[in-house]
Amino acid sequence: MLLADLSIVSEFYNKLFRRRDVRMLVDYDGATPKKAELLRLIAEYLKVSEDRIAIVKVENLFGQHRLSVHCHVYDTVEDLKKYERKYVLRRQGVEVSGKAGQALGKVQA
């Protein structure tokens, strides 16, 4: 069980992309949390489903048990798939369609 304390540093609603840009600090005990654990914690804290969140950047602050996290919280899953960058979606295991997804398939084959 991960013990973590989350606090929002800044939050901005981007009307063009229909998402909230959220920057937060995560204080944790023990080992650095995995992205899947962070995704679950952020979803619980913001009271949204995990499939609407894209974790863009995670930085471990030097010498501290603290992370700086930048994430996008979309209004719908369709908006997430439409507007988020493909490499961010692939990191989280979201199915990518279109040319980027086809190119990825050719590289792995």
Which domains, and CATH codes, for the chain?
A: 4-108 (3.30.70.3370)
What is the rounded distance in angstroms from the CA atom of residue 37 to the CA atom of residue 27? Answer: 13
- pLDDT value at residue 101: 42
Query: Mean pLDDT score of the chain, rounded to an integer?
Result: 87
What is the rounded distance in angstroms from the CA atom of residue 63 to the CA atom of residue 94? Answer: 33
- pLDDT value at residue 30: 87
Q: What is the mean pLDDT of residues 53-79?
A: 95
pTM of the predicted structure, to 2 decimals = 0.81
Give the tokens for residue 78.
Answer: 């369709």
- pLDDT value at residue 2: 66
Give the tokens for residue 95.
Answer: 């199915």
Helix (H/G/I), strand (E/B), else coil: 36: helix
Give the tokens for residue 67.
Answer: 């992370």
Q: Are 58 and 51 in contact (CB under 8 A)?
A: no
Q: What is the pLDDT of residues 72-96, one digit of tens each?
A: 999 999 999 999 999 999 988 887 7
Give the tokens for residue 109.
Answer: 């084959």
Q: What is the pLDDT of residues 17-36, one digit of tens each?
A: 999 999 999 999 988 899 99
- pLDDT value at residue 102: 44
Amino acid at 51: D
Q: What percent of the chain has pLDDT over 90?
A: 72
- pLDDT value at residue 52: 95
